[in-house]
Structure 1
Amino acid sequence: MVEVERHISKDELAELIREETDSRINDRLNFIQHLYHGDEVPEAVGKVGYGTTTGYNWIHAWNDDGVEGLVPNFGGGRPPKLTSEQEEQFIIILAEDAPWTTAEVHELLAEEFGVEYSERHLRRKLESYGMKYAKPKPYDYRRPDDADEILDERLEKALDEIENVDSDEGELMTDGGCTVGFFDETFPKPEDVYQRVWDFETPSQEVSTERFDANTFGFYALNGADAVEFMPNSKSESVCEFLRQIREKNPEGALIVVLDNYPSHHAHDVKDLAEELGIRLVFLPKYSPHLNPIEPLWRELKYALSRVFVTSEDTFQSLIQNTFDRLSTKLSYAQDWIDKFLADSGRLRQ
């Protein structure tokens, strides 16, 4: 552990921070102040947005030369920038080892190129490269690498079976023909809070903690009638009942239902009823909910409900019903899916 040299008092350091106008030096002084307050190097440098290696470089420079050791060595001129060749190399490194935290990018620039940028300038630069700053979306490590190919094969097989039964029903049409849609379940809760809001104090929101029965089954159709219903459970009997409702709303032509691998979806009575109703069940690859376009619809539904206060189960279910009916009219949730899995088939006709 490297101990920080106390060249000046805490008050003198605080005064330097207040008077310093160079943001780069100010970051270094704040780092030293955190060390004065007892932080270790990794914690202190993390608070100012830089990596651990940079922190140790700074503390050694401070211990050796005090405040002067923290002044960037830019030879009295403007801080150096990446040359065009360095920038190409920088982008290659970023692409090869992505994702990066902001602190890691700062450290990369300092260690590899001797360059420093402000937080704001670095953000603009990374965005200009086409990079996005966001919380990573988690996914199951068991998801197959060829999930797209698996789904494509299963969908093609279902479409081929429909064509073999009756070539006149080969196109996906709104007036009969073949309907394609997505089935899934969700469990909205009245106490869920998803929206971020601005407030002059720490935001708070009144919520209901009532336990409502809102086990919601949804069918999001590309070119047919949507369906939503509240079921007592997720057992195969409930799935069968919902399949009947889907068929009642889409009585004409072949019907393809894309769904996940929840155990009740694979039950014998579900598969037998689907065959009886003329429904082809196309199962997603395991651990691949991202391939079901109803998932973003559910997220937006929960987001919309999160600012609503309700104390009645009937009111809550009515809100879910109305929100689903409104959102399911949008094809945008499935546009990427259509482009990926149906664009080349020539079977989708609006």
Structure 2
Amino acid sequence: MSIDETAFWVGMSREVARSEKGKKAFCLRPFYKGRKMTLIGAISIEGVVAKKVIEGSMKGKDFKEFVEDDLVPKLKPGDVVVMNNLNIHSIEGIEELITATGARVEYLPPYSPGFNPISMLWSTVKSLIRMFPTRAMEVLEKLIEVALIMSGKDSFNNWFTKC
């Protein structure tokens, strides 16, 4: 099982475009980052195991609540929970909550997002979100839900195989 978080902003849009040969691509897009949403998630080879969307940046209490309320009820003895070696992931009580279920925790080396399969999910979700730029938080939250559903079940197994 792989855990991580990622951020989305109101107004996210594609950063590249296509145009006819010799012509410059042009489109209007917001020049600011709007309000922020953070998605905390856990995936396995079978798909999304747990997720939580919060408005703004994630704080330690948010991550602990996610682990306690959303992740721990879905863990089974023998599960391995892989997460980045961030300070927020190792706050007091997190590892104990996970190991109490019979699962174990493995921390990735610093600066190694390529070893975390959920990074590939975040890339896919963000690509889909950028296709439909919005200026409303409610719409952004719905887009995140749809993008998670659109990430095909076969992809999860492939992402774990690559890592």
Q: Settle same-fold status: TM greater than 0.5.
A: yes
**Kept after mapping to 2: 8 A contact 1:210/1:311:** no
SS in 1 for 2:4: strand
Q: In structure 2, how many angstroms separate the alpha carbons of the residues matched to 1:306 and 1:266?
A: 32
Deviations 1:107-164 (A, max 9, x none): xxxxxxxxxxxxxxxxxxxxxxxxxxxxxxxxxxxxxxxxxxxxxxxxxxxxxxxxxx
Equivalent of residue 127 in structure 2, options 303, 318, 327: 303
C-alpha deviation, 1:198, in angstroms: 2.0
Matching residue of 1:21: none
The answer as to 2:24 corresponding to 1:206 is no
The answer as to 2:44 corresponding to 1:218 is no
- Residue type of the partner of 1:183? I
**Kept after mapping to 2: 8 A contact 1:194/1:302:** no
Query: 1 or 2, which has the higher strand percentage?
Result: 2
Q: In structure 2, how many angstroms separate the alpha carbons of the residues matched to 1:198 and 1:231?
A: 34
The answer as to 2:71 corresponding to 1:246 is yes
- Residue type of the partner of 1:336? K
SS in 1 for 2:62: helix
* Equivalent residue runs for 1:109-148 within 5 Å: none
> 1:208 and 1:217, CA in 2 relative to 1: closer, same or farther beyond 3 A?
farther
C-alpha deviation, 1:298, in angstroms: 1.0
Q: Identity over aligned residues, as a percent? A: 19
Unaligned 5+ segments in structure 2 are none
The answer as to 2:6 corresponding to 1:183 is no
Deviations 1:17-74 (A, max 9, x none): xxxxxxxxxxxxxxxxxxxxxxxxxxxxxxxxxxxxxxxxxxxxxxxxxxxxxxxxxx
Q: In structure 1, how many angstroms separate the alpha carbons of the residues matched to 2:138 and 2:27?
A: 25
Q: In structure 1, how many angstroms separate the alpha carbons of the residues matched to 2:65 and 2:7?
A: 18
Larger RCO: 1 or 2 (CA < 8 Å, sep 6+): 2
C-alpha deviation, 1:210, in angstroms: 6.6
Q: In structure 2, how many angstroms separate the alpha carbons of the residues matched to 1:289 and 1:328?
A: 21
C-alpha deviation, 1:242, in angstroms: 1.4
SS in 1 for 2:109: coil
* Equivalent residue runs for 1:4-153 within 5 Å: none
Q: In structure 2, how many angstroms separate the alpha carbons of the residues matched to 1:253 and 1:224?
A: 19
> 1:318 and 1:278, CA in 2 relative to 1: closer, same or farther beyond 3 A?
farther
> 1:224 and 1:320, CA in 2 relative to 1: closer, same or farther beyond 3 A?
closer
Matching residue of 1:336: 162
Q: In structure 1, how many angstroms separate the alpha carbons of the residues matched to 2:37 and 2:152?
A: 18
Unaligned 5+ segments in structure 1 are 1-180, 338-350
**Kept after mapping to 2: 8 A contact 1:218/1:227:** yes
- TM-score, structure 2 normalization: 0.80
- TM-score, structure 1 normalization: 0.40
SS in 1 for 2:79: strand
The answer as to 2:94 corresponding to 1:270 is yes
The answer as to 2:55 corresponding to 1:235 is no
Deviations 1:160-200 (A, max 9, x none): xxxxxxxxxxxxxxxxxxxxx11111112233334532235
C-alpha deviation, 1:253, in angstroms: 3.7
C-alpha deviation, 1:309, in angstroms: 2.6
Q: In structure 1, how many angstroms separate the alpha carbons of the residues matched to 2:79 and 2:15?
A: 36
Q: In structure 2, how many angstroms separate the alpha carbons of the residues matched to 1:237 and 1:265?
A: 11
> 1:224 and 1:211, CA in 2 relative to 1: closer, same or farther beyond 3 A?
closer
SS in 1 for 2:147: helix
Matching residue of 1:80: none
Computing the radius of gyration from Cα coordinates, the structure with the larger value is 1
C-alpha deviation, 1:313, in angstroms: 0.6
